[in-house]
Amino acid sequence: MENKKISYLSNAVEFLEDEINNQDVEAFYRACITQLSKNERLEKPQLRNFYSGKEKSEKTYGNYMDKLIHLLEKFQEEIQSRNAELTLAKRPIIKTHVGGGSGNPTYYYIDFEDWETPPSFNQNAGLQKTETISHDIIYRTKTLKRTPWYLKLTAKLFARTKHRQFFLFFVLIFFIVAPVALGFLIQMLPLTYWTLLVLSYFVLFYPAWNIIKLATQKIALIEHIFQPVGAVCISKVKNVKDSDSFLDIEREILSVVVDATCPICFHKYNLKDSVQLESQSLFNRRIIGKCLNNPKEHRFTFDKDLMTGNPLNT
């Protein structure tokens, strides 16, 4: 359990890289975790020793720790899926012990908590070579280093149903009205301006198309030259307020890279992480997991809510 909790927290910081979005703070977290693995407690006045960037106030270091604790809580499911092979029975968390006056400093320590959602991953994780192969596969997620700009924008507008409806309305107008408007404008505008408008229409076409896919299918592949293969954007349920009304669901947009270990290739060659997400074919845009070693035969379904899949027969 001792080493595992440190691996769990280190992996968590790696996963949260994009959320932290500051190299100094990331290094600070790593140093704090190392310190916590050596000592049982990390006192607040000590925190300054672990920050290598420009010196900050003690309060700021405390705020950094609060932020880490918050992020570990917020992304616990994603972090858990990334740490399935650790088979932890409980979730490691960082806790704050608030010190009183008279020289008792506030300190941080690692504790364990029950999983909010019992990890179905953990029971299946760590495929045993000697046992019969379970063909079910478990997907893992990793946040995207560079989230496309239009998804960052959409994320803000996508949370509430009402905002979503308004936003989609405008995206649809873009598809229907813009081409018609461009047709009229060709007679009225000088060709240079018109060409610029047409170009911007085509630049915006793919983002708008992806947003519509995200709204209707709740998942879209991010196929871009600068993005890693298997990058997807998922419209994830954040909060169901009224279980009777399907429309009143709070959602959040998650841009992640997804991979998995192909059970067949792991069993035969000890090959890991060979499964990537792709469209099933040019004509069937269903998103499935394909094994790089055998993309025609080793194919798996992809369930974005369970982050698992089964072998695909067709």
Q: Contact residues for Zn ion (CB under 5 A)?
A: 262, 264-265, 291, 293-294, 298
Least CB distance from residue 299 to Zn ion, whole Å? 9
Residues in the chain: 314
Least CB distance from residue 224 to Zn ion, whole Å? 26
Burial class (CB within 10 angstroms; exposed 0-12, middle 13-18, buried 19+) of 115: middle
Whole-number Å distance between alpha carbons of 212 and 220: 9
Whole-number Å distance between alpha carbons of 191 and 186: 7
Q: Which CB sits closer to Zn ion, 212 or 271?
A: 271
Q: C-alpha dihedral over 104, 110, 111, 115, to 10 degrees?
A: 140
Q: Which CB sits closer to Zn ion, 217 or 294?
A: 294
Helix (H) or strand (E) holding 277: strand 275-279
Least CB distance from residue 265 to Zn ion, whole Å? 3
Least CB distance from residue 285 to Zn ion, whole Å? 22
Least CB distance from residue 86 to Zn ion, whole Å? 24
Whole-number Å distance between alpha carbons of 277 and 147: 17
User: Token digits for 236?
Assistant: 């994830």
Q: Indicate the residue type of 162.
A: K
Whole-number Å distance between alpha carbons of 291 and 272: 10
Whole-number Å distance between alpha carbons of 22 and 54: 12
Q: Which CB sits closer to Zn ion, 84 or 291?
A: 291
Q: Which CB sits closer to Zn ion, 4 or 272?
A: 272
Q: Which CB sits closer to Zn ion, 23 or 294?
A: 294
Q: Which CB sits closer to Zn ion, 110 or 264?
A: 264
Least CB distance from residue 266 to Zn ion, whole Å? 8
